[in-house]
Structure 1
Amino acid sequence: MRFSHLRELAELCRKEGKSIAGIMLEDQSHETGIDQEDIFRQMADYYQIMKEAVRKGQTEDTVSRSGLTGGDGKRVAEYLRSGETCSGDASALAMAYALSVSEVNASMGRIVATPTAGSCGVIPGVFISAQERFGWDDDHMVRGLFTAGAIGYVIANNSFISGAEGGCQAEIGSAIGMAAGAMVELRGGTTDQAIHAVGLALKNTLGLICDPVAGLVEIPCIVRNGLGAVTALAAADMALAGVRSAIPTDEVIDVMLEVGSAMPTKHRETAKGGLAQTPTGRKLTESLRGKRKESPDPAQA
């Protein structure tokens, strides 16, 4: 790629008069040797998988194999229909869809890791709910995925996107930043506004630990996806309103690396700290272990 930092990406956009999505698509084609049309078509296929995950989460059974999670996306959607939401219809719909996609993941369904399976709900929740609200066509949304991809590329190469490496700030935080920046561009905001949205989003998740109960990508991961979608919308609105990240976004990404590197191992996806080690978290873990012992091993049957 011709850029490794967001400031370089912004300069390319200004110099060439292109969007973040346009630069990303062009550079990916150059790096891979694949025609832009073919790359776009592949991303369009990914978007269809995201839409199918939302549909499945809203209409089918998504109880996980552990039995710990499932159905919360439907619950939020039903609550939205009551017309009494506290956060507003846009936030509630994005939350419902993000929860649904994460529940599909937990129930062994098909999702797109954006940027990881543990944070797979944020971007679909934001994108698909926005598409329904604004009436955008699929091609517009696919261009937004390239915007999100460019942002994720920078974060991944300068910090983390893995909870095992940098805590949940890396997984959920990256997804929120990607969704927020892409949403700004989808709404017609400037490149600078999109990059400020990323910084605003990432600052709000710095230090977030990865503490999955029983080591499963369920509790608190699924709820964090739902709330992450709402944060992404809020960050996008701030940036579109003219709010700027006082700390340049590239520097915020550097801080994510610093904080994640200093984070204790027990708070990086080991299930040895945080919510996983609360009294209830330990009880749930022991209960699941007991169920596994009671279940016969098919290989030995």
Structure 2
Amino acid sequence: MDFKNAKELLDLCNTHNLSISEVMIEREIQLGETTAEIIDRKMSRVLEIMKDAAFLPIQNPVKSMGGLIGGEAEKLSLHHASCKSLCGDLLEKAVTYAMATLETNASMGLIVASPTAGSAGIVPGLLLALQKIYDFSDTQVKKALFNASAIGYLAMRNATVAGAVGGCQAETGIASAMAASAAVELMGGTALQCTYAASTVLMNMLGLVCDPVGGLVEYPCQNRNASGVATALVAAELALSGVTQLIPLDEMIATMYAVGKKIPVELRETALGGCATTPSACEACHMCS
């Protein structure tokens, strides 16, 4: 059940009539020489941590260590409660949970790097929102997380998820691709549609730079998690509606990696360019002359 790329993954799905999550679960069992029960128990812990990170800051806002973010999730929740939301229930909840997770991370709380700390809000943001709106069980959400992990594994094996290597397209971009693929499976889509959604995300986030203010995983990281959730949702909707992708996921992963290596070093997590060097950012973090 091992696979090196998305083509091999889809071949396994088609040959054995399995979903992406089922292939990934079987791969973990075989390569880890473990049992389905142990794998499920570990993923249950992952989901528990994700829920705490996404829900707690809404009721009890926390200030980040750098002081740049804190309380945004509560504001979004109150705005949604006022019935003046522009996004609708699903996206509003997804954005709120994503931003809350970044508050947890930036205040030294416990999160799941999915795939990184700076992009940790996107996968739980979308999946937990889908659970709230459509009443999915924890078992169904855990399967979707295995789907997401398969896409993350492909990115790690064939490219990167590090902002220092590939820019924010490699962090929030891959996280959004993971979330989009997982959402498609959760909503009953095929394995091929999952890869279409992931490919769409990478296409739409291609070239996104990593420019954290003060070198901290706070700002604009939190806002990009919110926009990453929206991008994932759009990509999943396109795939589920039957819109296909000209460029396969493997090619988009390779393209993302190639573009990332061409991004100037100042725009790859060094805080030497982009948002990090604007006058307002320098004043806020007291790190620039």
What TM-score, normalized to structure 1? Answer: 0.94
Match of 2:221 in 1: 221
Q: Once superposed, which parts of structure 1, at least 4 consecutive aligned residues long, lie more than 6 Å away?
A: none
The structure with the larger Rg is: 1
Pairs within 5 Å for 1:135-214: 135-214=135-214
Among all aligned residue pairs of Structure 1 and Structure 2, give the percentage whose two residues are the same amino acid: 43
Matched residue count: 289
Quote the Cα distance in structure 1 between the aligned partners of 2:198 and 2:61: 34
Q: CA deviation at 1:4?
A: 1.1
Partner of 1:285: 285
Provide, for residues 4-57 of structure 1, a one-character-per-residue CA deviation record: whole Å limited to 9, x for no partner: 111110110010011100000101111111112101110111101101111212
CA-based RMSD: 1.3
> Partner of 2:110 in structure 1?
110
Counterpart residue number, 2:251? 251
Give the partner amino acid of 2:271: A
Paired residue for 2:90? 90
The answer for the alignment partner of 2:77 in structure 1 is 77
Partner of residue 58, structure 1: 58
Residue 10 of structure 2 is matched in structure 1 by 10
- Structure 1: 5+ residue runs without aligned partners? 291-301
After superposition, the Cα gap between the structure-2 partners of 1:131 and 1:205, relative to the gap in structure 1 and judged at 3 Å, is: same
Distance (whole Å) between structure 2 residues aligned to residue 224 and residue 289 of structure 1? 23
* Match of residue 28 from structure 1: 28
Structure 2 equivalent of residue 19 of structure 1:
19
- The residue aligned with 1:43 is 43
1:234 positional shift: 1.0
Work out whether residues 61 and 74 of structure 2, in 8 Å CA contact, stay in contact via their aligned partners in 1: no
Q: CA deviation at 1:289?
A: 8.4
Amino acid at match of 2:13: C
Aligned to 1:124: 124
- Cα deviation for residue 61 of structure 1 reads 2.5
Residue deviations 1:187-219 (CA, integer Å, cap 9, x gap): 110111111000011111110000000000011
Task: State the 1:65 CA deviation.
Answer: 2.0
Measure the CA separation in 2 of the matches of 1:226 and 1:211. 16
Letter in 1 for 2:3: F
Structure 1 CA distance, aligned partners of 2:14 and 2:82?
Answer: 45
Q: How big is the shift at 1:155?
A: 1.0
